[in-house]
Amino acid sequence: MAHLLQRVAQSRDAQAFAELFENFAPRIKAYMIRQGADPTTAEELAQETLLMVWRKAGLYSDTKGSATTWIFTIARNLRIDRLRREVPWQTFPEGQEEQASDDIAPDEAVSERERRERVHAVLATLPEDQHEVVLLSYIEGLSHSEIADRLDLPLGTVKSRMRLAYQKLRESVEDLR
């Protein structure tokens, strides 16, 4: 995916953009629906996310993370802005200090893919109670207090389950270096 984003950034490649659209728009729409949007709004937000990808592609730097992570953060911020109508104070990992490199080094691409596989593998082995709170936080967009209400748990229990999940996931998602 990173190479498609690079092509969009460097040569405003419409074909590469169409491929990004096909790959990401359906998942962004699904994400927005899980976050509480109706299907029409979800589709508009998917479209808007991809238009933002087109406009901001020049800010994308592969040194700061995978294309999927970058697009996820754009969708996340758009969701805070439009669905929750709050100010998203989260910044994009757009690598202001680092220049976008011309090409993604082949070994870097491999390790990025390996990393993704590791994250998925660890996610699959999380105990059900930890997996549940992580999913409610990231995909349903619930705050810790809302998760506590939903599951009828003390706030402290929700927070400790999140922490335990991160302790297991941490090694697989830390910066590669």
Partner 1 sequence: MTNKIEHHPDDSTLMSYAAGSLSEPLCAVVAAHLELCKACVHEVHAMERIGAALFEDLQGSPINSGTQEACCKAIGQPESNAKIPDEPQDHSVLTRILGSKLADIHWKRLGFGIWHHPIKLSPNCNGDLRLIKVAPGQVMPEHGHGGSELTLILSGSYSDEFGKYNAGDLSDLGDDVEHRPVSDSLEGCVCLIASERKARFKDIVSRIVQPLTGL
Q: Which of residues 10-49 bind partner 1 (CB under 8 A)?
A: 14, 17-18, 21-22, 25-27, 29-31, 33-34, 39, 42-43, 46-47
Residues 106-165 that bind partner 1 (CB under 8 A): 115-116, 119-120, 123, 134-135, 137-139, 141-145, 155-156, 158-160, 162-163
Q: Which is nearer to partner 1, 3 or 43 (CB)?
A: 43
User: To the nearest whole angstrom, how small is the minimum distance from the Cβ of residue 120 to partner 1?
Assistant: 6
Contacts by 116-122 with C-beta closer than 8 Å and gap 24+?
116/66, 116/68, 118/172, 119/169, 119/172, 119/173, 121/172, 122/168, 122/169, 122/172
Query: Which letter does DSSP use for residue 79 in this model?
Result: H
Residues 50-69 that bind partner 1 (CB under 8 A): 50-51, 54-56, 64-66, 68-69
